[in-house]
């Protein structure tokens, strides 16, 4: 491997992760930025051409990456999520997929001008969406729970099905057009598919058993899973091309549903790997396209095909397959629009383009162009429209950043009430019905359950909440909760109440576990609850040009607790000694203030009113 190839690998990584960062920074669809970046450095300026530069390694790298990405997605498919949405998911993944296949094949024949054989192969492939494109869009749009789960399950389940349908269509075509038809190849196809499912299930059960029995140490579990995923994918793919995707999907679903204790750690590891792979693979695929492919995209027959697939085929397949289900009209509209194609469509179509051309179907030469056109236009349109459409249909949780508070006590209930009055989504989670009495009385949203339990994970919709505050009187539990949810919420959005002892300012190991100290180390939950009992009040102060931060600090009482501030644009920031939070003009500071200070403030207002009356 020469220096130039090493440099290209480094460049692909930088461009991929850089695209992800830009998407996060400017709240844009990551897939769109990655696709555009790949086109710029590839066919437009010719800086890199991964397919040519990597040579024989290119296809195996893409295939292994797709396998790991699909496995990571299926690792999130717990059957407990199907409660209330099992019927829509089943119908969309079966009836909907069949309708999409038939309609897509008809469109490919009559509009794109493909022969019946090629049309039915590509029609089967294009029923896929996939986790590579769906997952980033779901994170971006903050969909409500039900449509988000349907899109996630459909993307992961239909991904291998689409590839298998394409293989099945090709085998049927080969069988029908053969001079001496031999059904053995069809039998091999179905046998290989069943073998792939059984292999994936067996590998998943086997991994679960060795993990639970302690035969593999913790530090080797995630690497072992990656190796087994690659092994299962390769073995199944050697038996029959594209069945490897079915194997890794079965393996992931098996691991997700056998209840092994270390599944969450593996899920976080796989999610990190998946983001890295998605970022680099999209750059590699788009950078490997030819200029002629891009120019051919704007042919009338290809544009017409893409438009019909987006505006007719997808909506019809969703509406027809979900008749009689519990999905609302708005949910059907959203699902009927969102169907971006991704890595699987690009990689598998290039494989079929080659074998169909070898079989004498010359019209298969446009498959790569057709696939990229559908991928690019669906990613672009759905990426930019999903958030807007979800908000218009009332299916988005997007808004002001919400707060999830663990622990119901006098202070947290008053804190939640102050956030609620600022129109900030908030919820209190506690396993004690007695503790939640305060929240019920105050009219604050609450959920009864253990935040660390699997049931809470499936029952509580955490999408609206950007911040997590662990504020129970059990400091070890607070630290464990912060550690568990740190990968999901981010290091700057997870806080725990101070575990430090007010007498000797000391604590145990929990102070060094993940989670930033909320407010200040001298304010434990006992101290804060004591202040509430003494009558401390929540005070809102907006800084202006006339009343700035210096004057505010000069007038504040020494016992005042700075809680949080709200920026004019709605951004919420909690005060913490471990984070530098500097209020500025226009910010609203919320603090816990002594009752005497509040009385003085009221008295000053009354005196001002009297003075104005006297002047009159």
The structural domains of the chain, with segments of one domain joined by +, span: 3-392, 402-615
pLDDT tens column, 295-305: 788 888 889 99
DSSP at 524: B
Query: Which helix (DSSP H) or strand (DSSP E) does residue 404 occupy?
Result: strand 402-406
**What is this structure's pTM?**
0.66
pLDDT tens digits, one per residue of 560-607: 888 888 888 777 888 887 667 677 777 888 888 887 655 555 555 555
Q: Which residues pair with 429 in a beta bridge?
A: 406, 447
pLDDT band at 400; cut points 50, 70, 90: low
- 307 near 297, Cβ under 8 Å? no
CB count, 10 Å around CB of 53? 17
Position with higher pLDDT, 261 vs 366: 366
pLDDT of residue 316: 93
- Which residues, 6+ apart, have CB-to-CB distance to 323 below 8 Å? none
Those residues whose C-beta lies under 8 Å from the C-beta of residue 431, and which sit 6 or more positions away, are: 448, 449, 450
For residue range 290-329, what is the model confidence (pLDDT) as tens digits?
Answer: 887 777 888 888 899 999 999 999 999 999 998 988 888 9
Which secondary structure element, helix H or strand E, spans residue 573, and what is its range?
A: strand 572-574
**Highest mean pLDDT pick, 159-173, 259-273, 283-297, 319-333:** 319-333
Backbone angles phi, psi at 249, to 5 degrees: -65, -45
- Tell me: the pLDDT tens digits for 35-56? 888 889 988 888 888 888 888 8
What are the C-alpha distances in Å from 114 to residues 104, 106, 107, 122, 605? 12, 9, 9, 9, 79
Sign of CA dihedral 324, 325, 328, 332: negative
Q: May I ask the CATH architecture of the domain 3-392?
A: Up-down Bundle (1.20)
Distance from C-alpha of 365 to C-alpha of 376, rounded to nearest angstrom: 19
pLDDT tens-digit series, residues 511-567: 444 677 888 778 888 888 888 888 888 888 887 877 777 777 777 777 788 888 888
Give the Cβ contact number of residue 553 at 10 Å.
Answer: 11
Is the CB of residue 490 less than 8 Å from the CB of residue 482?
no
Q: Domain 402-615 maps to which CATH number in 3.40.50.300, 3.40.50.1820, 3.40.50.720, 3.30.70.580?
A: 3.40.50.720
**Torsion on CA atoms 261, 262, 268, 269, rounded to nearest 10:** -170
How far is residue 1's CA from residue 369's CA, in Å, rounded to a whole number? 31
Whole-angstrom CA distances from 540 to 279, 359, 448, 564, 565 are 43, 74, 30, 10, 9
Is the pLDDT at 116 greater than 60, yes or no?
A: yes
Q: What is the pLDDT of residue 511?
A: 44
Alpha-carbon gap, residue 616 to 610, rounded angstroms: 10
* pLDDT, average across residues 168-189: 73
């Amino acid at each position: 491997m020469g220096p130039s190839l090493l440099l290209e690998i480094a460049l692909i990584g930088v461009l991929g992760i850089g695209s992800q960062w830009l998407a996060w920074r400017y709240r844009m669809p990551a897939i769109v930025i990655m696709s555009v970046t790949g086109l710029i450095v590839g066919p437009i300026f010719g800086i890199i051409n991964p397919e040519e530069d990597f040579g024989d390694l290119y296809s195996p790298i893409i295939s292994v990456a797709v396998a790991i990405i699909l496995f990571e997605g299926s690792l999130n498919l717990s059957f407990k999520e199907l409660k209330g949405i099992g019927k829509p998911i089943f119908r969309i993944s079966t009836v909907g997929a069949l309708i999409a296949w038939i309609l897509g094949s008809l469109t490919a024949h009559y509009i794109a001008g493909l022969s019946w054989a090629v049309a039915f192969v590509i029609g089967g492939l294009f029923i896929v969406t996939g986790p590579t494109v769906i997952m980033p869009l779901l994170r971006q749009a903050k969909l409500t729970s039900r449509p988000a789960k349907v899109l996630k399950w459909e993307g992961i389940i239909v991904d291998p099905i689409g590839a298998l349908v394409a293989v099945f269509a090709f085998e049927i075509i080969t069988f029908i057009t053969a001079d001496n038809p031999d059904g053995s190849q069809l039998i091999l196809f179905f046998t290989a598919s069943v073998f792939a499912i059984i292999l994936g299930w067996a590998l998943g059960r086997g991994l679960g058993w060795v993990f639970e029995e302690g035969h593999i140490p913790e530090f080797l579990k995630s690497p072992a899973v990656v190796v087994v995923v690659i092994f299962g994918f390769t073995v199944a793919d050697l038996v029959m091309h594209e069945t490897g995707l079915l194997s890794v999907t079965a393996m992931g679903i098996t691991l997700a549903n056998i209840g092994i204790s270390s599944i969450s750690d593996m899920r976080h590891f796989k999610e990190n790997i998946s983001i890295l792979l998605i970022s680099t693979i999209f750059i590699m695929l788009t950078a490997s396209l030819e200029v002629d492919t891009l120019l051919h995209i704007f042919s009338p027959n290809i544009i017409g095909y893409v438009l019909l697939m987006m505006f007719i085929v997808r909506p019809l397949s969703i509406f027809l397959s979900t008749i009689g289900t519990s999905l609302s009209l708005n949910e059907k509209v959203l699902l009927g629009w969102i169907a971006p194609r991704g890595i699987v469509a690009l990689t598998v179509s290039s494989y079929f383009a080659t074998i169909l051309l070898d079989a004498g179907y010359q019209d298969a030469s446009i498959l790569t162009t057709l696939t990229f056109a559908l991928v690019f236009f669906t990613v672009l349109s759905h990426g930019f429209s999903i958030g807007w459409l979800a908000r218009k249909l009332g299916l988005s949780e997007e808004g002001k950043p919400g707060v999830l508070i663990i622990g119901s006590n006098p202070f947290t209930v008053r804190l939640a009430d102050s956030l609620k009055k600022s129109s900030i989504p908030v919820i209190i989670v506690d396993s004690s019905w007695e503790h939640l009495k305060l929240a019920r009385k105050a009219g604050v949203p609450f959920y009864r359950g253990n935040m660390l339990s699997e049931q809470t994970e499936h029952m509580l919709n955490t999408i609206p909440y950007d911040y997590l505050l662990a504020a129970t009187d059990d400091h070890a539990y607070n630290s464990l909760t912060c550690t568990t949810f740190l990968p999901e919420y981010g290091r700057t959005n997870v806080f725990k109440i101070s575990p430090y002892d007010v007498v000797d300012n000391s604590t145990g190991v929990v102070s060094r576990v993940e989670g930033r100290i909320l407010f200040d180390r001298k304010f434990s939950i006992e101290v804060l609850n004591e202040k509430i009992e003494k009558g401390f009040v929540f005070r809102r102060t907006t800084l202006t040009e006339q009343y700035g931060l210096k004057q505010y600090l000069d007038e504040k009482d020494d016992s005042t607790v700075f809680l949080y501030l709200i920026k004019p644009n709605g951004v919420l920031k909690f005060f913490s000694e471990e984070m530098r939070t500097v209020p500025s003009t226009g910010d609203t500071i919320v603090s816990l203030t002594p009752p005497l200070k509040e009385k003085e403030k009221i008295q000053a207002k009354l005196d001002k009113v009297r003075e104005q009356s006297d002047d009159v």
